[in-house]
Structure 1
């Protein structure tokens, strides 16, 4: 009897192991991983030498909202911040007189102001939006053509000629269909199929064209001073590109004179790009790189297995606050860090005459430091 019971337990255990192995190896996942090469990171050295300049960050209360992914000062001198709830908050620069300016019903990840003072917002759920001074939201575009939807609008910048440039992070995974912006970004970066694009919307003709394609999660965007080129973050490959603004459907994977890498092999995942003062462009690193994730760059089968595990097991890097400023040649001009990551998931920075406001994907406050 005892021997038979032991055999039964062993058989059940063996079956469970087999089922577990079968699940890890064969359970369907939504990605088709592509092999790529990840260069060995230099780490926190040189212009990114470790420091504690973000360690004592000040906080501005934002009530029940959270996730000030993008922050900018409007033409009215007030501070605007886009929240996870779909709210865009408006407040004085010290955080007083806080109010809800608009709610898009989606998730705005980036916005800018056009020559008329309208807010132009890239909403990951809805597309490219315009929001007037009264907070009324209207759709500008949610597709390039009838069969080419824009499912993950991310960052936006308005040119002086009226052209609106914006990024589409992925053509494969839209936040509306895949459980939100974070889940869709995880799927896209694990897959590495590089379907991100830079787009341009012409309000005069109500048309959208592809400027450049082939980016592994296209993210932050900034316009050069002469407006002849764009800077764009490629989050999934740890780099920043410079792209001709007048390019048409140029492939980043090809060999084109219209695109070049400005900064490569960054120590973390670049998110927003925001124009500062005196020629600075601020970059936010969402999280530092993880050697385990880099080691899987050419191991497509193991990346499939990763998606069958709990999301908390993903090698996403530890919390680490990091923003830095560059010029248009890619020289690092300033760098602020917090190794403890107390202000979580820094996505960018907005500079005024005396403050640097720090963006975050999930923080429950707006962070700032004297600058």
Structure 2
């Protein structure tokens, strides 16, 4: 009897080992060297400045991932349902402005008042004040734009936007968060920055080689672009004249402005007085950093139940910096009560705090 029991247990263990080692997973992990985390010290010293956020209720909606004030003076925000909400700056008079049928992550307004949207499922869209949706770009050089993430419109009318991953599209892989986890675990660095020229309707690659290309913001002179590289804790400053620039190769056209941040940088938003705000959507995770040079273990991770994945805990953190790379504001809430802080929209009297999953729109008096 005992012999049979041991045989059964041995067979089960063999099956488990075979599953953990051989079961197909979608990622082909690339080894890289994660820098030693700086911790919450220096300009990132632990504080409570983001604690006690006031909240604007969004009803049944969640995930106010991006916030901007339109030319009509009203506040617009995107939410997880695919809706873009419009309201007064105090949160009153809320309405659904439009639903794109996808998930808009970032947006900006052009000179005509059109809302230019980076839709992670569909591509680059233009939404007119009368709510008509026009597709601007869903391909570049014959390849699909799989994960449009953030966009900014220059005074010239040209639009600069991130395609976070050419490997894992948000629609194909279960949503924006799920696809981002796959891309960051793989580290194949296929993210890129694209330019759309409305005069010619042409799309070109500005830069590539980014590990999950995310937030974008224009320099004040509109000669450079600031870019969040979420998967490797970095923020770049890239010349707009760059053409198909591989940022993994040294170039005078790309400057690493912030390296080894204490969290994953997300949205970039121009604030007042020349500053740029960034949200650190999650803190660093020691397990993730240890696995950086262990592709097999990262592959094995995806064979575990999702509850065992090394997803960092919630930790509220946003900061502002100058174009020269000096931190001028740092706001934190270690409790993570307002989760996944993706960015900040600064107005004359408020800071609106963006979030990937929060039920409500956070804000602080400025």
- The TM-score bracket by the shorter chain reads over 0.9
The answer to whether residue 298 in structure 2 is matched with residue 303 in structure 1 is yes
- Written as runs of structure 1 = structure 2, the 5 A alignment for 1:92-171 is 92-146=88-142, 148-171=143-166
Which 4+ stretches in 1 moved above 4 angstroms?
A: none
1:116 shift after superposition:
1.0
Q: 1:41 aligns with which of 37, 42, 47?
A: 37
Partner of 2:274: 279
Q: Report the TM-score when normalising by structure 2.
A: 0.99
Matched, 1:62 2:62: no
**What TM-score results when the alignment is normalised by the length of structure 1?**
0.98
Query: Per-residue deviation at 1:15?
Result: 1.0
The answer (yes or no) to whether the contact 1:110–1:121 under 8 Å persists in 2 is yes
Structure 1: runs of 5 or more not aligned: none
- The aligned runs of 1:1-371 (5 Å cut-off) are 4=1, 6-146=2-142, 148-371=143-366
Cα displacement string for residues 142-191 of structure 1 (whole angstroms, at most 9, x for unaligned residues) = 00132x11010000000000100000000101011111111111110000
Structure 1 position 316, deviation (Å): 2.2
Rounded to whole Å, the distance in 1 between the matches of 2:167 and 2:160 is 20
Deviation at 1:76, TM superposition (A): 1.1
Looking at structure 2, the residues matched to 214 and 152 of structure 1 have their Cα atoms a distance apart, in angstroms, of 15
How many equivalent pairs are there? 366
* Offset at residue 12 of structure 1 (A): 1.3
CA contact (8 A) 1:344 1:360 kept: yes
Deviation at 1:354, TM superposition (A): 1.2
Deviation at 1:117, TM superposition (A): 1.0
Q: Shift in Å at residue 370 of structure 1? A: 1.1
Measured after TM superposition, the shift of residue 236 of structure 1 is 0.3
Mind listing any 5+ residue stretches in structure 2 that lack a counterpart?
none
- On the 8 A contact 1:289/1:316 being kept in 2, the answer is no
Secondary structure of the residue aligned to 1:112 is strand
Q: How many angstroms apart in 2 are the aligned matches of 1:115 and 1:82?
A: 20
Map Cα deviations across residues 191-228 of structure 1 (whole Å, 9 max, x no partner).
00000000000011111000000000000000000000
Contact 1:130–1:137 (Cα < 8 Å) also in 2: yes
Distance 2:161 2:306 in 1: 29
- Once the two structures are superposed, what CA deviation does each residue of 1:19-55 show, in whole Å capped at 9, x if it has no partner? 1111001101111110111110111001111100111
Distance 1:282 1:238 in 2: 15
Q: How many angstroms apart in 1 are the aligned matches of 2:11 and 2:358?
A: 44
Give me the whole-angstrom Cα distance separating, in 2, the residues matched to 1:144 and 1:257.
Answer: 25
Output the CA distance in 2 between the equivalents of 1:354 and 1:46: 28
Note the aligned Cα RMSD (angstroms).
Answer: 0.7
